[in-house]
Amino acid sequence: MPKHDGTAARIVDSALALAEQCGWEAVRLHDVAAASGLSLDELRQHFREKEDLVEAWFDRADAAMLQAGAAAGVQDLPAPERLERLLMAWLDALAPHRRVTRQMIQGKLEPGHLHIQIPGLLRVSRTVQWWREAAHRDARFLRRALEESVLTSIYLMSFARWMADESPGSADTRRFLAHKLALAARLECRLCALRPRAVQSSAAPRATAHPPASDPAQ
């Protein structure tokens, strides 16, 4: 795993700067090492392969999201607004290199890249889990599984939209995300409203199949 220190950050910055000039596909680790003022072996002490640079870049976005979650007043927001604020902080952290970020994702999706696609799925799951943690979501069991599935879908759709979003401040993505989170909140409310009815229905006494026998003494 990359070391989280100043040298590692400098290496990532150098890689991003090179990618802005020639595209992510053309970036080579020996060029990144030279741009960072390091030997290739020194770079290897921080990043074992080029894909580790991608992970470090997205780790920065995860960190920005967690920092946003710790800001004053965020946890007092309604859940949809809180989730929106946090995911937009994640996207805003990537925004300075949106084109390069898009190229990173495109590289992951190329046929035959299973060795980076499978870790990519784990990356999605990890970011969604940090998103839920930063928002202090505490659903359990089946409700948690449903929430994770819904938020993963919203995350992927919003990220895909953001990559092509040229509106100022990613306003189109923000509106899209807010709309999807509002829909998810309404769905959650409906499910919560149905649950007590289901509990009451299962707890109701069953009707007897036959009327009680009359008392012979009467």
Q: What are the tens digits of pLDDT across the range 21-75?
A: 999 999 999 999 999 999 999 999 999 999 999 999 999 999 999 999 999 999 9
Q: Structure pTM?
A: 0.84
Q: How much is the average pLDDT of 141-163? A: 96
Q: Which segments of the chain does DSSP mark as H helices, in order?
A: 6-22, 29-36, 40-44, 50-69, 79-94, 98-109, 114-134, 141-163, 171-203
What's the pLDDT score for residue 112?
66
Q: Going by C-beta distance under 8 Å and a sequence separation of 6 or more, which residues neighbour residue 42?
A: 33
Q: How far apart are CA 206 and CA 185, in angstroms?
A: 35
Over residues 169-212, the pLDDT tens digits come to: 999 999 999 999 999 999 888 877 776 554 444 445 554 445 55
Q: Which of 28, 51, 52, 26 is nearest to 40 (CA)?
A: 28
Q: Which of 150, 158, 126, 156 is nearest to 62 (CA)?
A: 126
Q: Could you tell me if 165 and 92 are in contact, meaning their C-beta atoms sit under 8 angstroms apart?
A: no
Q: How far apart are CA 108 and CA 123, in angstroms?
A: 12
Q: Could you tell me if 87 and 184 are in contact, meaning their C-beta atoms sit under 8 angstroms apart?
A: no
What's the pLDDT score for residue 41?
97
Residue 2 binned pLDDT confidence (cut-offs 50, 70, 90): very low
User: Quick one: DSSP state of residue 82?
Assistant: H
Q: Going by C-beta distance under 8 Å and a sequence separation of 6 or more, which residues neighbour residue 103?
A: 19, 23, 24, 25
Q: Does 166 score more than 90 pLDDT? A: yes
Q: How far apart are CA 155 and CA 62, in angstroms?
A: 13
Architecture of domain 74-195: Orthogonal Bundle (1.10)
Helices 6-22 and 50-69, interaxial angle, to 10°? 110
More confident residue, 29 or 113: 29
Q: Could you tell me if 181 and 154 are in contact, meaning their C-beta atoms sit under 8 angstroms apart?
A: yes
Q: How much is the average pLDDT of 121-143? A: 94
Q: Does 3 score more than 90 pLDDT? A: no
